[in-house]
Structure 1
């Protein structure tokens, strides 16, 4: 790699680090074929962890960090004093192919600042994916960050070559978007999401290829005054209306020469973590937005306990539950019991009456679950009277890393 390309890579890989929407979960499995390059499998090279715990390795870069927009929270905004660079289409293609051949990556995540116009930028992103697929027979994972202001026809073309498409919502409310990113249109963003969702659904029904890994979005946490409750309710609406595969929560990070309307410091990264846990409860544990939002305190998720435990503590009258009799839905609400543990319990109790030791063999979370369940040889006492229960089960404070 020559020095000029290495310099571009350094700048544009660093500029992409603020975008969290880069998991490859949901991509179809594709095997390498003669004359082709790459494949997708259930797990990739273990270089990065996604929020859902999967290990993947993607070349994560911007096509360029030049941008026509001047969003206050963005390090690559028009008025930002940062080093700028721009890849050509061929340079991105070459990097992707060469890195894949060297077993560095399993796919490409490509985003971009807006250059010339939204349509021009979208055309460049599509050319990268199309060249990889058609000229090089690339069968690895491709995620394209699409431009909501671009022509719907261009977004349609992007879906033919990418595994996943995403449009960043950026901020949870229209008022925040108008204040911090006045050149962006919240209604246009959600209209583009809706159109993309319709195309993905139609393609699945017609059994043709269009963004088979679905669409995702990203919301910045802590750049405005939005509460966790409003974020949770916004997320639930997006999942319901647009069929999103994932919503990513990205803790705001202070940027150089920041505008005075921005916070001076990042929110606790534990807040981002709690939002992911709340999101997980809605998607996989049958919690409603009201259930999760009801466990907040003044609209904010507790930092010392996870959302499921917070809900259980607020609903002590529904506990303890009997592992031998309770339905699956209620077992999923027991702190410390995950989906796999619950399924194992349901299967095991068909053949035997479960004792506490049996439950211990089926889950690693018995310490947290114990106050909330009943087994054949065990029943907790005075759960509703245990004023110290939260303190006993709370997580010790810890500092999380943003990057």
Structure 2
């Protein structure tokens, strides 16, 4: 490890960080520079090569402090028994890299995680020192996301929130039984206690900010977590229920889902194949149904196969739900309330809001709908318009782009 130069360390530790999906800057507030000075900006709303609403690509330096670890989690490529090349940054090296990359216009922020070195407290101290130095020594105003270590002293976690825009604490696996089996050195109750402490600190800060303008910031972009999908026997139903509970209990901004990827020299208790990436995608869609479309978790679970608890991979969960509850359709787009229109397959939140505005002026026809959304053809089986009413809804509605093996018949007439 000592023989590696900075470039060699960066190659190893940037690659090792790719397994962590939980990075996004949505929800952060801009840190105002004092006197027009300071580095970085959080205006862009997005990191890790995400795209801002204006089309700009927002990136950040996403690295591990080290890929050495005293834990031996079966699913982790950086586990103690893994045969990988190890590297370690000093906290000052991470600070220098971040500032240097920002000045070259490579990045607009930092995502920093780490394996556990020495002890959880020692590792967390090094992570916090990076953020402290950037903020206080370099007046860095860019986005900082720190991965917190739940075994560390709560005071260290609280200190991290003073400097970071977002904190994340990974629950690792969807079920406690899965965590006990695959990561026996980690404790689900301790992870949740740390998440509860972060929630309390954020709420206290919000309460103080309402009273005092000078109240110090504390993780203004909130906290997030990540689950590994497909490493254990958890079903999609288990995952949806778990994510919903985490949102409710800890006021999370995001739950990220990361499909398990087989690793070199893998433990024999792990599956030999990674789950379909489409499964990860369907879980993200389900997550949005609960967060933005008014679905209860139990309703989304009903879209899954009752025998396996898994969501269908060939159609999205919103369509799967609609086909199981055909008595809820068709929906009159000129009369239905917003919450009912959000359940129409193919209609997003922006399209529904546009329809609500447009129908105040006139009764909407199919051609009007075509101007408000690009998925008008997909909507026909599920809607009533001024010039359209479907006769019947088949077991599956015809959708453009489906493969022939899953092609569906449409039994409608104007």
Secondary structure at the counterpart of residue 240 of structure 1: helix
Unaligned runs of 5+ in 1: 398-403
Secondary structure at the counterpart of residue 146 of structure 2: strand
Residue matched to 2:347: 337
Secondary structure at the counterpart of residue 14 of structure 1: helix
Residue matched to 1:25: 26
Contact 1:27 1:40 in 2 (8 A): yes
Q: CA deviation at 1:43?
A: 4.1
CA separation of 1:122 and 1:273: change in aligned 2, threshold 3 A: same
Q: How does 1:11-22 map to 2 (within 5 A)?
A: 11-22=12-23
Tell me how far apart the structure 1 counterparts of residues 397 and 173 of structure 2 sit (CA, whole Å): 36
Unaligned runs of 5+ in 2: 210-215, 406-414
Q: TM-score, normalised by structure 2?
A: 0.91
CA separation of 1:395 and 1:245: change in aligned 2, threshold 3 A: farther
> Is 2:238 the partner of 1:230?
yes
Contact 1:285 1:332 in 2 (8 A): yes
Residue matched to 1:401: none
CA separation of 1:172 and 1:45: change in aligned 2, threshold 3 A: closer
Matching residue within 270, 284, 303 for 2:278: 270
Q: CA deviation at 1:32?
A: 4.6
Contact 1:13 1:62 in 2 (8 A): yes
Matching residue within 294, 315, 320 for 2:330: 320
Matching residue within 152, 169, 172 for 2:171: 169
Secondary structure at the counterpart of residue 156 of structure 1: helix
Q: CA deviation at 1:206?
A: 1.0
Secondary structure at the counterpart of residue 216 of structure 1: strand
Deviations 1:44-95 (A, max 9, x none): 6883469xx9943010000000000000000000000000000011100010
Contact 1:24 1:56 in 2 (8 A): no
Contact 2:70 2:80 in 1 (8 A): yes
Deviations 1:93-144 (A, max 9, x none): 0100010011111100000000000000000000000000000000000000
Residue matched to 2:412: none
Tell me how far apart the structure 2 counterparts of residues 327 and 42 of structure 1 sit (CA, whole Å): 34
Residue matched to 1:351: 361
Q: How does 1:289-308 map to 2 (within 5 A)?
A: 289-297=297-305, 298-308=308-318
CA separation of 1:54 and 1:274: change in aligned 2, threshold 3 A: farther
CA separation of 1:3 and 1:189: change in aligned 2, threshold 3 A: closer
Q: How does 1:82-93 map to 2 (within 5 A)?
A: 82-93=84-95
Secondary structure at the counterpart of residue 202 of structure 1: helix
CA separation of 1:279 and 1:45: change in aligned 2, threshold 3 A: closer
Tell me how far apart the structure 1 counterparts of residues 397 and 176 of structure 2 sit (CA, whole Å): 40
Contact 2:26 2:46 in 1 (8 A): no
Contact 2:44 2:58 in 1 (8 A): no
Contact 2:24 2:47 in 1 (8 A): no
Residue matched to 1:4: 5
Residue matched to 2:291: 283
Aligned residues: 393
Q: Note the aligned Cα RMSD (angstroms).
A: 2.0
Residue matched to 2:208: 206
Tell me how far apart the structure 2 counterparts of residues 223 and 55 of structure 1 sit (CA, whole Å): 32
Secondary structure at the counterpart of residue 271 of structure 2: coil
> Is 2:74 the partner of 1:75?
no
Tell me how far apart the structure 1 counterparts of residues 4 and 57 of structure 2 sit (CA, whole Å): 30
Residue matched to 1:156: 158
> Is 2:385 the partner of 1:375?
yes
> Is 2:258 the partner of 1:256?
no
Secondary structure at the counterpart of residue 389 of structure 1: coil
Matching residue within 247, 252, 258 for 1:239: 247
Residue matched to 2:224: 216
Q: CA deviation at 1:389?
A: 2.3
Tell me how far apart the structure 2 counterparts of residues 189 and 396 of structure 1 sit (CA, whole Å): 46
Secondary structure at the counterpart of residue 165 of structure 1: strand
Q: CA deviation at 1:40?
A: 1.1
Q: CA deviation at 1:30?
A: 3.4
